[in-house]
Amino acid sequence: MSSPLALGLIGAGRIGQVHASTIVTRVPGARLLAVADVNLDAARACAARFAIPKAVVDPLEVINDPAITAVMICSLTSTHATLIEAAARAGKHIFCEKPVALNIEDTDRAVAAADTAGVQLQIGFNRRFDANYARVRKAVTSGEIGKPYMLHIISRDPAPPPIEYVRGSGGLFADMTIHDFDMARFLTGSEAVEIYTQTDVNVDPAIGEAGDIDTALCLIRFANGIIATIDNCRKAVYGYDQRVEMFGSGGAISIGNNYPNSATLSTAESIHTDLPLNFFMHRYVEAYAAEIEEFAAAISAGKPVPVTGHDGRAAFALAMAAKQSMLEKRPVSLV
Amino acid sequence: MSSPLALGLIGAGRIGQVHASTIVTRVPGARLLAVADVNLDAARACAARFAIPKAVVDPLEVINDPAITAVMICSLTSTHATLIEAAARAGKHIFCEKPVALNIEDTDRAVAAADTAGVQLQIGFNRRFDANYARVRKAVTSGEIGKPYMLHIISRDPAPPPIEYVRGSGGLFADMTIHDFDMARFLTGSEAVEIYTQTDVNVDPAIGEAGDIDTALCLIRFANGIIATIDNCRKAVYGYDQRVEMFGSGGAISIGNNYPNSATLSTAESIHTDLPLNFFMHRYVEAYAAEIEEFAAAISAGKPVPVTGHDGRAAFALAMAAKQSMLEKRPVSLV
Amino acid sequence: MSSPLALGLIGAGRIGQVHASTIVTRVPGARLLAVADVNLDAARACAARFAIPKAVVDPLEVINDPAITAVMICSLTSTHATLIEAAARAGKHIFCEKPVALNIEDTDRAVAAADTAGVQLQIGFNRRFDANYARVRKAVTSGEIGKPYMLHIISRDPAPPPIEYVRGSGGLFADMTIHDFDMARFLTGSEAVEIYTQTDVNVDPAIGEAGDIDTALCLIRFANGIIATIDNCRKAVYGYDQRVEMFGSGGAISIGNNYPNSATLSTAESIHTDLPLNFFMHRYVEAYAAEIEEFAAAISAGKPVPVTGHDGRAAFALAMAAKQSMLEKRPVSLV
Amino acid sequence: MSSPLALGLIGAGRIGQVHASTIVTRVPGARLLAVADVNLDAARACAARFAIPKAVVDPLEVINDPAITAVMICSLTSTHATLIEAAARAGKHIFCEKPVALNIEDTDRAVAAADTAGVQLQIGFNRRFDANYARVRKAVTSGEIGKPYMLHIISRDPAPPPIEYVRGSGGLFADMTIHDFDMARFLTGSEAVEIYTQTDVNVDPAIGEAGDIDTALCLIRFANGIIATIDNCRKAVYGYDQRVEMFGSGGAISIGNNYPNSATLSTAESIHTDLPLNFFMHRYVEAYAAEIEEFAAAISAGKPVPVTGHDGRAAFALAMAAKQSMLEKRPVSLV
């Protein structure tokens, strides 16, 4: 039996703790050896909860720890690119939360650093690991729906983030649609060649005053011929709405939302169910665990990770093209 | 009690007989007094079946029959505009199958003729009278889903028509999407201001060789801000696929297909149902009856008909703009 | 081409008119030649509406009309057995609404009269012709669910009938469950060998004061081993609830209710649909037409009718046994 | 902040490890101090995996450990009653897997021991903690469905256990239906007053040769008037089938199965989904965790546990009465 995979955690916030929990409870072949957080108390609390022997402030103490084989970067977005480069220099494999950066230059530099160093870089597009989306992809690759013609993604949040967050988010396309751009690439197995978008400020005028939008419809053409739409809104009153439909020569597959229970109530007013799961960390709880399980399994086995820095780069490029389409009111080519 | 509404039928083919049956079985306040068909035997058979006293070849014998108050034009598309003009001149109210014509000039002239004559002209956009679509419209007008933001229409045929039909159809947008353009106008209660489209030939290369397409995604902006998509394909292997989703500030409404039964089978392979209703005259049997009921009721009561020549004109204009967008590969403005 | 099937109608009330409409609009090979009703005005109005040449008061004038081949008995239940006997004597085939009679002796005598005369007798168990129930039966006969083990029938009315009706109804088992007893026999293709029941008065104490019940659960064992339950209630606030589930060695089939539309609404409160079809004549509109189509087709072709007087007798016998089980608080054998 | 709840685990098999995992990952206020298993290696492996400081063979070393406040009995059924008595004598609170025993005398003695000692005894009826069933109970207690009239439980296994297991199981009612008896008590909030059953051997003749049945329908009357049915079968080819419907004066609530994903596939053959979750430990993974969370919370707070030894006793008594009904072919009173 081989020795355990030695991991280091950078960032002991919400998502960092989620990943630490996955390592402890679901990845018997891995051990967390160190955790870093700018807040030392947070690092220590995380270390205590998950029995991590070392808690520090400086992420480089984790990255450069010779006992550590791979690092999980769960710190602020603004630190991602720099930490990826540092980890690559140290020869460590990397799991990094999305996005790699908020501009294409930093993204490219970080991805290139991992490539040059020959380390693996997995980006946290967790939805690829969700059972519903994975089933759609399987329907495509297995031929169950024949040759795919059209794809529709609906991705609506239950409520907009605080306006301060919106201001620093890089805009709806880079902050929210980026998940859907990656999903469209994942499900089609192809690269976008053109994007056109219609957008609006419907939910809150303050979002418009911040220079952003809250409603968008993207129409994307993929290299393999698939025509895709992405429907985004920052607010759906009935909750987190995450659905997909793929249609092809042999049929169609569609996925619905996830619910807290399977109950249907019939009363004098209506036939109804409770609202779908409302919080993304509940909705995707299994996907967050599965992406880490697959990361650890790939690193341990010396196999490629399932979502790479190049995937992160491509989704970001689509966000930039969508923004250009919105500003120039025309279809934008990506080739 | 008033005397019955006196109707004349022009065209004793499939749809003409459907409308005749509606008059006989569901509109007690109306009587069919004459039927015309280029095939006299067909006219006579129709007359016998529905107890219509007069069967002729010449539609003008119906139109100019002084006993007749309104005519139902169910003949070939190429005759629609001319017959509308003749009926308008004769002061007769008109129900006419869609489309009014295959070019905008004939459409405009026919619609103007009815306007000038002060007669009512209803176009056979039967889907507006379907219980599912009507429920979506009611959700909008009642405020159940708040202010609408986005609309998605899926409209896929079970199989493409014969290639000879395709050649003379005026193209997918004028022949097939025209129903969906009308539906989008009906459901949004607004006029399109811009359309962009992505198209393909996926189903049959012969359709492409005939200069047409069989797959299309239209992205439409409406004057009231709603962003709409229309997904069309000439072939869905699982059958006639006719669905809509409307999303707004207060929620969403979606409609599914209609099925021959409500059974769900659970076997060792899957949980499954039978395929949806596959034939448009089965799927819309109630809508075909309801549009005639409402036409007769409006004429009898001297009230406006529910779908006018202007609706027919607007849907056709959208089809022309969609074609232009396809040919010029750019968004086309309709204002 | 053969001459049309000549029919007579006895009873011009609601259900009589439904059947007349079916003959006129959906059975081209049949003609209604006469209608009888105790109320001559009703007979005449019906004759006018459906172009029936003869309208009379005395049902024997219909039954004994030599031009008539078959009669449809849609008069009061108390007249059914006597009219069946008269029609049998006259050599006429018979369609009769259920039940044949409110006691077993009259039932037996009427059924025997038809048998002796060699005329066909179809009982109006319309639900057998409903697409949902027919699909369940097909799943059994086709082997889709293997060897059936258990059957569950849910049959709840939207509201109890007037208390005067309850008093003369013969009780819940004979009046309401009789449809479900027939359905259980139809779906299992077998005869009941034992029945046990638990009952209650939940909906209205006046029903109990009238000596009846409004809630019942019947547990039935069939000769072929199937165990069946029937759940009845006189009131379901959400509407007419008519469902079935059959489970066997190869799987299960279940049917749901029918709805006025396929819409699903998602709001801040719930995901909901409208209530199911509430009125039995709307819910079973197609079944009422189909049973008459099949009756006419069988008579015209000289083939056996699909539901016989013996079926009517067997369902009634189950109702009597259920009542006995309720009164004697024990399982009752039917063999 | 109070000191952690000190727990001991008896039985390091499958379910014992599930509960240990719950304590470690989801109950921050509890600690496992010792684990016992007849197989010392199993005890040690469990201790290593979950960081339990003490691993022993003798359960009394856990029960009598003065540092331990409560024990979780996950050993063989035959040991349950004796261990409950030992724990009660030691003044320890107890979580015990169902059933307490395979006869009523041992059950009564164990329950009485806990009562006498004043310790809490929770029985592992995990399904009460499942979100679906909990939602049904909430619909009853909240009044959403008014006064309940009828309850239907469907509980079918994907495949029968090995015939050796069947022989020692105590029979279908004690081994399988016992979960449903408890569920019926939980959902109705009442005690059974009469039970009648129809049974069969459908799945495997060997089950009949072993003196057991594999198919059963129980009809139960509850003290508060609710009429309930329980449908059991040892084999449903489509998987683990666990559903409930409760009907009352204000409406109805029904729950469906849980699925591995929410995908619907439309192909040329059918509209279908994947099969439901097939393995009870996947289906009830959350319920197994929730029952332990609630046990720990109740003990920590000094509040009553949510399912008691008396619940275990009542479900077992129903199993005995069902068996009597089957053998004597008559309704059996429980009061």
**What residues of D are in contact with residue A139 (Cβ under 8 Å)?**
263, 265
Task: Tell whether the model's pLDDT for residue C86 goes beyond 70.
Answer: yes
From B305, B277, B311, B309, select the one nearest B292 (Cα to Cα): B305
C28–B25 C-beta distance less than 8 A: no
- Tell me what the mean pLDDT of segment C173-182 comes to: 96
Q: Give the pLDDT of residue B142.
A: 98
Interface contact C254, partner A, CB < 8 A: no
Task: Tell whether the model's pLDDT for residue D312 goes beyond 70.
Answer: yes
**What residues of D are in contact with residue C208 (Cβ under 8 Å)?**
none
Contact between residue C98 and residue C73 where contact means Cβ atoms under 8 Å apart: no
Q: Give the pLDDT of residue C1.
A: 43
B268–D270 C-beta distance less than 8 A: no
The string of pLDDT tens digits covering residues A219-263 is 999 999 999 999 999 999 999 999 999 999 999 999 999 999 999
Distance between B232 CA and the closest CA of chain D, angstroms = 16
Q: Give the pLDDT of residue B2.
A: 63
**What residues of D are in contact with residue B236 (Cβ under 8 Å)?**
266
More confident residue, C51 or C13: C13
How many beta carbons lie within 10 A of that of residue A271, not counting itself?
23
Residue of chain A nearest C159, judged by CA positions: A268
Q: Which residues have CB under 8 Å from C69's CB, separation 6+?
A: C5, C6, C7, C92, C93, C299
D225–C152 C-beta distance less than 8 A: no
- Sign of the Cα torsion A280, A281, A282, A288 reads positive
Q: Which of C238, C269, C271 is opposite residue A266, by nearest beta carbon? A: C238
Q: Which of residues 193-212 of C touch D (CB under 8 A)?
A: 196, 198, 200, 202-203
Q: Give the pLDDT of residue C2.
A: 63
Q: Is residue C59 reached through a cis peptide bond, with omega within 30 degrees of 0 on the bond before it?
A: no
Q: Determine the Cα–Cα distance for residues D20 and D32; give it in Å rounded to an integer.
A: 8
From C217, C214, C193, select the one nearest C204 (Cα to Cα): C214
Lookup: tokens for D179 = 């979960």
**What residues of C are in contact with residue A274 (Cβ under 8 Å)?**
270-271
Interface contact D286, partner B, CB < 8 A: no
B331–A196 C-beta distance less than 8 A: yes
**What residues of B are in contact with residue A251 (Cβ under 8 Å)?**
236-238
| pLDDT tier at D24, thresholds 50, 70, 90 | confident
Residue A59 identity (one-letter amino acid): P
Interface contact A270, partner C, CB < 8 A: yes
Task: Tell whether the model's pLDDT for residue B258 goes beyond 50.
Answer: yes
Q: Determine the Cα–Cα distance for residues C69 and C95; give it in Å rounded to an integer.
A: 11
The residues with which A251 forms a beta bridge, in sequence order, are A248, D267
**What residues of B are in contact with residue D270 (Cβ under 8 Å)?**
270, 272-275
The string of pLDDT tens digits covering residues C197-242 is 999 999 999 999 999 999 999 999 999 999 999 999 999 999 999 9
Residue of chain B nearest A231, judged by CA positions: B150
**What residues of A are in contact with residue B152 (Cβ under 8 Å)?**
152, 229, 231
Q: Determine the Cα–Cα distance for residues A109 and C171; give it in Å rounded to an integer.
A: 83
Q: Determine the Cα–Cα distance for residues A313 and A139; give it in Å rounded to an integer.
A: 26
Interface contact D275, partner B, CB < 8 A: yes
For tokens 């369902």, name the residue. Answer: C315
Q: Which residues have CB under 8 Å from A121's CB, separation 6+?
A: A84, A88, A93, A94, A96, A110, A111, A114, A305, A308, A309
| pLDDT tier at C49, thresholds 50, 70, 90 | confident
From A65, D200, C254, select the one nearest B263 (Cα to Cα): C254
The string of pLDDT tens digits covering residues A94-120 is 999 999 999 999 999 999 999 999 999
| pLDDT tier at A1, thresholds 50, 70, 90 | very low
Interface contact B238, partner D, CB < 8 A: yes
Q: Which of A237, A267, A271 is opposite residue C268, by nearest beta carbon? A: A237
From A239, A256, A285, select the one nearest A19 (Cα to Cα): A285
Per-chain mean pLDDT for chain C: 96
Task: Tell whether the model's pLDDT for residue B101 goes beyond 90.
Answer: yes
Q: Which of B28, B145, B261 is opposite residue C135, by nearest beta carbon? A: B261
Interface contact A217, partner B, CB < 8 A: yes
Q: Give the pLDDT of residue D168.
A: 87
Q: Which of C238, C267, C268 is opposite residue A271, by nearest beta carbon? A: C238
Q: Which residue, among B267, B270, B273, B283, would best test binding to C if mutated, counting the most C CBs under 10 Å from its CB? A: B267
Pick the range with the lowest mean pLDDT from B189-193, B245-249, C24-28: C24-28
From C25, C10, C4, C8, select the one nearest C285 (Cα to Cα): C25
A238–B229 C-beta distance less than 8 A: no
Interface contact D1, partner B, CB < 8 A: no
Q: Determine the Cα–Cα distance for residues C195 and C221; give it in Å rounded to an integer.
A: 6
User: Measured between alpha carbons, how far is residue C319 from residues A112, B223, C124, C197 in Å?
Assistant: 81, 64, 17, 11
Q: Which of A251, A265, A268 is opposite residue D265, by nearest beta carbon? A: A251
- Give first-to-last CA distance, chain B, whole Å: 48
For tokens 């049309």, name the residue. Answer: C4
B252–C262 C-beta distance less than 8 A: no
Interface contact D257, partner A, CB < 8 A: yes
- Give first-to-last CA distance, chain A, whole Å: 48
| pLDDT tier at A2, thresholds 50, 70, 90 | low
- Give first-to-last CA distance, chain D, whole Å: 48
A249–B203 C-beta distance less than 8 A: yes
Per-chain mean pLDDT for chain B: 96
**Is the ipTM of this structure higher than 0.85?**
yes
Residues of chain D above pLDDT 90, percent = 93
From B140, B116, B218, select the one nearest B172 (Cα to Cα): B218
The string of pLDDT tens digits covering residues C127-164 is 999 999 999 999 999 999 999 999 999 999 999 999 99
Q: Is residue C260 reached through a cis peptide bond, with omega within 30 degrees of 0 on the bond before it?
A: no
Across the C/D interface, how many CB contacts are shorter than 8 Å? 92
Residue of chain A nearest C158, judged by CA positions: A268
Interface contact B147, partner A, CB < 8 A: yes
Using DSSP's 3-state secondary structure scheme, residue A165 falls into: helix
- Tell me what the mean pLDDT of segment A200-211 comes to: 98
Interface contact B254, partner D, CB < 8 A: no
- Tell me what the mean pLDDT of segment C235-250 comes to: 98
Q: Which residues have CB under 8 Å from A162's CB, separation 6+?
A: none
Task: Tell whether the model's pLDDT for residue D1 goes beyond 80.
Answer: no
More confident residue, A3 or C104: C104
Q: Determine the Cα–Cα distance for residues A109 and C123; give it in Å rounded to an integer.
A: 82
Q: How many residues does chain A have?
A: 335
Q: Pairing relation of β-strands B30-36 and B54-56?
A: parallel
Contact partners for chain C, using 3 or more CB pairs closer than 8 A, are A, B, D
Pick the range with the lowest mean pLDDT from B113-117, C277-281, D92-96: C277-281
